[in-house]
Amino acid sequence: MNTPDDLDARLTRRHADLLVLGGQVVTPAGIERLDVACLGGHIVALGELRRSWSAESTLEAAGLHVLPGVIDTQVHFREPGLTHKETLEAGTRGAVLGGVTGVFEMPNTSPLTLTPEDLAAKFDRADGRAWCDHAFYIGGSAVNAERLAELERLPGCAGVKVFMGSSFGDLLADDDTVLRRILRHGRRRLAVHAEDEARLRERRVLVEASGDVCDHPRWRDPRSALMATRRIVAMAAESWRRLHVLHVSTADEMAYLAHHKRRVSVEVTPHHLTLCAPECYRRLGSLAQMNPPVRDDGHRQALWRAIRDGVVDVIGSDHAPHTREEKARPYPDSPSGMTGVQTLVPIMLEHVHQGRLSLPRLADLTSAGPARLFGIEGKGRIALGYDADLTLVDLSARRTISDAWIASVSGWTPYHGQSVTGWPITTVIRGRTVMRDEALVGRPQGQPMAFLEGTPTPSVENPASR
């Protein structure tokens, strides 16, 4: 292991752990042809380095674009308790194969992630098994609301996640009194799944009568989403709390959220940007079933306009696998969720190829944006002193996504058979190559992420608490 003195000496000698040479690098200043020197897990030099630096290993990146490491801020890896669907090892393996260097994992496991002991157990399971860096959400609930200010600052905690719908038991927080308790305890940005649970229960009869998965977006209609989003944004304003609204799927919500951006950030998903109702339900059946639903092209185009207009802050996959057997249950008893972490980069690169967004904008939505919103320490940019997390992609590579490529325990993707232009070629985490030429390298060495707001700081009183 290198000591600080060793690293200083190597820096003086200009001898890196890794040199990435000749790539088109996406930096805060734009896309530039640069070499990148990585030492001790960090970026230590940028520029024309081939003649002036040596290294333990090199990556020739000519013809490739080098993105800051992609961070997927919404995955469900199902461990503990639901490992027949997914595991931390398989989920993170799929992440690095898809060019993702870090993930935020959700609390709806079994047991739920509600206590310090639950969080510690997840980190224990990830130790030596996680291929990429990771953080875990704590669930916001009636049973832990008064402890959330303490829980959200535990090392490696991504923050607090609240389910206003699409959950059960202690993790469902659909009551205004409970939501206000959660909002008053803590300072970090609160992530929320916003669907109105009461309306969904009332409308379930519609799909019980039809049994047709094509009715999924009719059951979980745009009003169900907008009602919940408006409620939580209004309550958060009372508490001076910052919000992060996950997987926004409707034109109605985007129009509303555009007026609340000072305190509210917005996530969209690749499947809401790519798939379209009713065609996807006819073709894929319940494999296209997600909450909130994939909707028609009018809503899809509204999401793209929101990206163009700067309303959207991040793209997360909402990777939430179920087995084929579970998906084969008669609708509406079939579960909602699909794989996504491994296909996030290829699917979004296809959108870059089609001209729907630029590569720097994609990097902001998947790297700088997550780091900025959640205060991830040392990640999200290719800049001196930052973690040497890099996603190398070939924008001209043509591939066909297949179930056989998917690492997930569930073993399927809704994009099976889809051709894309643009593909992840190499994944580097803290200066260590973990995937090269589409094959894994070495062994899992992912580490917990650190957060700038993840340690105790002097509290700041807000008027709502008086």
Judged on CB neighbours under 10 Å (0-12, 13-18, 19+), 440 is: middle
**What does the pLDDT average to over 264-288?**
98
Domain end (from 352, 374, 396): 374
Structure tokens at 310: 């700067």
Domain containing residue 160: CATH number = 3.20.20.140
Of 447, 330, 342, nearest to 402 by C-alpha is: 342
Alpha helices in 21-112 (DSSP H): 88-97
- 304 and 194 in a common domain: yes
- 430 and 330 in a common domain: no
Distances in Å between the Cα of 126 and the Cα atoms of 129, 371, 408, 410, 447 are 5, 21, 16, 19, 8
- Range name among 4-13, 259-268, 453-462 with the lowest pLDDT average: 453-462
The pLDDT, as a whole number, for residue 464 is: 32
Residue 150 belongs to some domain of the structure: yes
d(CA 269, CA 318): 7
Residue 300 belongs to some domain of the structure: yes
Mapped onto helix, strand or coil, the DSSP state of residue 288 is: helix
- 241 and 215 in a common domain: yes
pLDDT digits (tens, 9 = 90+) for 308-351: 999 999 999 999 999 999 999 999 999 999 999 999 999 999 99
Q: How many domains does the chain have?
A: 2
- Domain extent, residue 29, equals 4-67+383-440
Residue type, 5: D
DSSP single-letter state for residue 185: S
Residue 445 belongs to some domain of the structure: no
**What does the pLDDT average to over 366-379?**
98
- 288 and 171 in a common domain: yes
The pLDDT, as a whole number, for residue 461 is: 34
Of 186, 185, 182, nearest to 141 by C-alpha is: 182
Higher pLDDT: 249 or 173? It is 249
Residue 183 belongs to some domain of the structure: yes
Question: In the predicted model, is pLDDT for residue 173 greater than 90?
Answer: no
List the beta bridge partners of residue 435. Answer: 427, 440
Mapped onto helix, strand or coil, the DSSP state of residue 190 is: strand
Question: In the predicted model, is pLDDT for residue 463 greater than 50?
Answer: no
d(CA 94, CA 92): 5
pLDDT digits (tens, 9 = 90+) for 35-51: 999 999 999 999 999 99
The pLDDT, as a whole number, for residue 168 is: 67
pLDDT digits (tens, 9 = 90+) for 89-145: 999 999 999 999 999 999 999 999 999 999 999 999 999 999 999 999 999 999 999
Q: Beta strand 70-75 with 65-68: parallel, antiparallel or unpaired?
A: unpaired
β-sheet with 70-75: strand ranges across: 70-75, 100-105, 133-139, 157-163, 190-193, 243-245, 264-268, 314-315
Q: Strand (E) positions, 156-258?
A: 157-163, 190-193, 243-245
Of 438, 423, 306, 426, nearest to 365 by C-alpha is: 306
The pLDDT, as a whole number, for residue 84 is: 98
Question: In the predicted model, is pLDDT for residue 263 greater than 50?
Answer: yes
The pLDDT, as a whole number, for residue 458 is: 34
The pLDDT, as a whole number, for residue 90 is: 98
- 309 and 221 in a common domain: yes
Judged on CB neighbours under 10 Å (0-12, 13-18, 19+), 238 is: exposed
- 197: enclosing H helix or E strand: helix 197-210
Contacts of 462 (CB under 8 A, 6+ apart): 239, 240
- 332 and 237 in a common domain: yes
The pLDDT, as a whole number, for residue 111 is: 95
Residue type, 67: L
Helix, strand and coil in the chain, % to nearest 5? 35, 25, 40
d(CA 308, CA 287): 29
pLDDT digits (tens, 9 = 90+) for 225-253: 999 999 999 999 999 999 999 999 999 99
- 184 and 54 in a common domain: no
Domain end (from 374, 398, 424): 374
Question: In the predicted model, is pLDDT for residue 165 greater than 90?
Answer: no
| Angle at alpha carbon of residue 339, lines to 336 and 340, rounded to 5° | 120
Q: Beta strand 100-105 with 314-315: parallel, antiparallel or unpaired?
A: unpaired
Question: In the predicted model, is pLDDT for residue 465 greater than 80?
Answer: no
| Residues of the chain above pLDDT 90, percent | 92
For residues 303 and 312, the answer to whether their CB atoms sit within 8 Å is yes
Residue 456 belongs to some domain of the structure: no
| Angle at alpha carbon of residue 295, lines to 310 and 349, rounded to 5° | 50
The pLDDT, as a whole number, for residue 171 is: 87
The pLDDT, as a whole number, for residue 4 is: 82
Higher pLDDT: 178 or 167? It is 178
> CA gyration radius for the chain?
22
- 326 and 427 in a common domain: no
Question: In the predicted model, is pLDDT for residue 276 greater than 60?
Answer: yes
Structure tokens at 369: 């944006």
d(CA 263, CA 55): 44
Dihedral class, residue 424 (left if φ above 0, else alpha if ψ from -120 to 50, else beta):
beta
Contacts of 100 (CB under 8 A, 6+ apart): 69, 70, 71, 72, 132, 341, 342, 344, 345, 391, 427
Domain containing residue 14: CATH number = 2.30.40.10
Domain end (from 374, 393, 410): 374
The pLDDT, as a whole number, for residue 457 is: 36
Residue 78 belongs to some domain of the structure: yes
For residues 72 and 96, the answer to whether their CB atoms sit within 8 Å is no
Residue 465 belongs to some domain of the structure: no
- 201 and 103 in a common domain: yes
If you write DSSP's letter for every residue of 266-279 in order, what string do you get? EEE-HHHHH--TTH
201 — pLDDT class (breaks 50, 70, 90) = very high
- Range name among 12-26, 75-89, 155-169 with the lowest pLDDT average: 155-169
- 285 and 221 in a common domain: yes
**What does the pLDDT average to over 168-175?**
82
Residue 104 belongs to some domain of the structure: yes
- 187 and 327 in a common domain: yes
| pTM of the predicted protein model | 0.95
For residues 446 and 432, the answer to whether their CB atoms sit within 8 Å is no
- 389 and 358 in a common domain: no
- Average predicted confidence (pLDDT) for the chain: 95
The pLDDT, as a whole number, for residue 172 is: 85
